A and B are shown apart, each in its own frame.
Chain A
Amino acid sequence: MNTYFIEKKRWFDFLEGNLDNYSIIAPFSYNDALIYEPLSLMNLDRAVFGIVRPVQPLKSFFFPFKERVVPEILEQEKQTVIIGAANCDLSALRILDSVFLNQEYKDPNYRARRQNTTVVSIDCANPLSVCFCDAVGLKPYPDDGFDLNLSIMENGFFVDVGSKKGENLISNKDLFRPAKDIEIEERNKIRSRVRSTIVSYNESFHLPRNISEEFPENFASKIWEKIWQRCVQCGGCTSICPSCVCFFLEDTSNRERFIKNKIYDSCLLPGYARMASGLSPRPLLWERYRNRFACKYSYIVSNYGRIGCTGCGRCIAGCPGKIDKRKVLRNIFLQKDEDVGYESVKYL
């Protein structure tokens, strides 16, 4: 893999130079949280690179909350560049690719958007207390799965090239120079420091080294019947989860043509699996709550060969019931029914 260095000032020049050719999405800081916004000459200098993952999951650009799928959206949008996803969201994108792309049946809109988008990830530099990527076997920086990846250094950025699309984006090399080995060593030190921080945030949860391997054995546990009480079945965690893919189809066809919309659904909602007869395989909330965990740590693994949770912590930070998922997992693995709530977390 080729790694380049670009000075901070030149990085902004580089972005400015590409505004005509690409729709660029970048993170901006609002109330200490990072939010993706379209980049323009007006806001270019306020874009923030390299703190932590943005609040929105990367999936929202490829699999939006609601979209028309019949007829599929054919308009060729301008090529898009999305900057700011961390490795947790890149990992989630692989699950989405497995579901919507690497199958016999390919989702038409998703395929078009993936082809049309260049993903520029960033090393996580300042993980949140809710982050637990290490516990699901991920690192706070990516080895692959990106088109370009940025590592933020004091004077500028390292740029790893991960694909042809990434190579094309920085084809004009005037602004970049090859990175030196000694600089890369410095980056590696920062990377392992960030990783240690995440490990230290999660030591108290005593999670097994391989959650998905241990998980099925605990699936039938009676503990599930006791630890769901904080869940208010709002479906918020599934919406902000970067790897949740469930949706339903809404039909608004008329006599002339078929029209179908694809809209997020949540397995925590009582109507999710309820059939016309009124029967549901999971009529009770604790069954649906267990299903969400089983899906993440077992079913997705069986279906696509990778764990369905990326440890991004959004479901913890966004939970109105203040459920810390890591405490739920701890209870499952240690067969306890202790409170799974938290007092407060740093949101970001």
Chain B
Amino acid sequence: MNQSNIYEPIRCTVDGVIEESPAIKTIVLIPEKQFSFEAGQFISMTVPDVGEAPFTPSSSPFKTEKIEVTVMKTGLVTGAIHALKKGDVVGIRGPYGKPYPLENFAGKEVLLVGGGVGLAPLRSLFFSLLHTINAYEKITFCCGAKTPADYIYKNQILDEWLRYSEKMPVSFRITVDKKDEGWNFMEGLVTTTLDNLDIKISNSVAVVCGPPVMMRFTTLKLLDLGYSDSDIYLSMERKMYCAVGHCRHCLIGPYFVCKDGPVFTYNAIRNEPSVWA
């Protein structure tokens, strides 16, 4: 971070808006200055005169000229992000937080479990894993959404990623809570994709991202399956302002989500109050 003012955002032009689902859009940004990140790190995005909120980029860390951010419309800032059009100006600061510890995944069977908009950081991680695919034993990617219409990155997953399994140790389990006609994959909560996994649990790490209730039940299921607390990696979400460890809004117990996270092992936070808020 070579800026002298830690709160000064970098101006970005909106290059495009992709409608992923009725509630989720991916915004493509072109930063005015060189900007790079590692998978799992987040940015703080300013919509002028509205506010600022943290998001983990969903694009590949190896593509730096354009950064993609996938956002679900939930509140004030995300509402304003959904109203953005090509050519609009926003600000970003960062990257903040610790990236996914890929070094801890080496030689392991990596299980990714994502639900809804929680697939966003996992997409970025997936690109990173593909980049060094030989370092891992294999990758199992479990994806969930409420309905087929709610699936983000659907075309990319179904048209491109599924084919990767032909030439790489990559497999997918794709489910929706409730299917419709024409859905050829699983039906059931994302936790059902964890039944009958073809994974040697003792040599595996699980990476989970999704809404709190999904993370909670996925973690409980993973523990049932025999994953140890320290092999379950959770993307935690909290109210955040400064993103640099000053304002204390994002604390889980004594841990800053912005600085010590946003990815924590379950082992690190399991005894803190209100983990699953």
Contacts and interface: CB of A to CB of B under 8 A. Distances in A.
Contact of A273 (B5, B48, B51, B239): B239
B215 to A, nearest CB: 12
B22 interface: no
Interface in B232-277: 237-239, 241-242, 244-249, 251-254, 256, 273-274, 277
A251 B50 contact: yes
Given A72-B5, A106-B6, A252 B49 contact: yes
Contacts of A249: 7, 51-52, 241-242, 247
A62 to B, nearest CB: 13
Contact of B76 (A250, A276, A282): A276
Given A258-B91, A303-B254, A108 B5 contact: yes
Contacts of B91: 253, 258
Contact of A105 (B1, B237, B248): B1
Contact of A299 (B4, B242, B246, B251): B251
Nearest to A69: B7
A272 to B, nearest CB: 7
A154 B59 CA distance: 71
A71 B5 contact: yes
B48 A265 contact: no
Contacts of A276: 53, 74-78
A273 B8 contact: no
B16 interface: no
Nearest to A273: B239
Interface in A296-343: 298-299, 302-303
A9 B125 CA distance: 70
B89 interface: yes
Nearest to B74: A276
Given A108-B4, A246-B249, A281-B252, A258 B244 contact: no
Interface string B69-98: 000001111100000000001010000000
A71 B3 CA distance: 12
B253 A258 contact: no
A41 interface: no
A138 interface: no
A275 interface: yes
A108 B242 CA distance: 13
A164 to B, nearest CB: 24
B175 interface: no
B48 A251 contact: yes
B1 A247 contact: no
Interface string B24-61: 00000000000000000000001111111100000000
B238 A275 contact: yes
A105 B8 CA distance: 12
A72 B3 CA distance: 12
A5 to B, nearest CB: 41
Given A104-B1, A258-B9, A277-B74, A99 B46 contact: no
A248 interface: yes
B212 interface: yes
A108 B212 CA distance: 35
B202 to A, nearest CB: 32
Contacts of A107: 6, 246
Contacts of B251: 295, 299
Return the 7 tightest CB-CB contacts between A and B, nearest first. Answer: A276-B75, A281-B277, A253-B48, A281-B274, A302-B254, A105-B244, A299-B254
Given A108-B5, A108-B7, 14 more contacts: A69-B7, A70-B8, A71-B5, A99-B245, A100-B246, A103-B246, A106-B6, A246-B247, A251-B52, A265-B247, A274-B239, A282-B274, A291-B273, A303-B254
9 contacts: A247-B246, A251-B51, A252-B49, A253-B46, A258-B8, A273-B238, A279-B277, A282-B277, A295-B248
Interface of A: 69-72, 99-100, 103-108, 219, 245-255, 258, 260, 262, 265, 267, 272-277, 279-283, 287, 290-291, 294-295, 298-299, 302-303
Interface of B: 1, 4-9, 46-53, 74-78, 89, 91, 211-212, 237-239, 241-242, 244-249, 251-254, 256, 273-274, 277
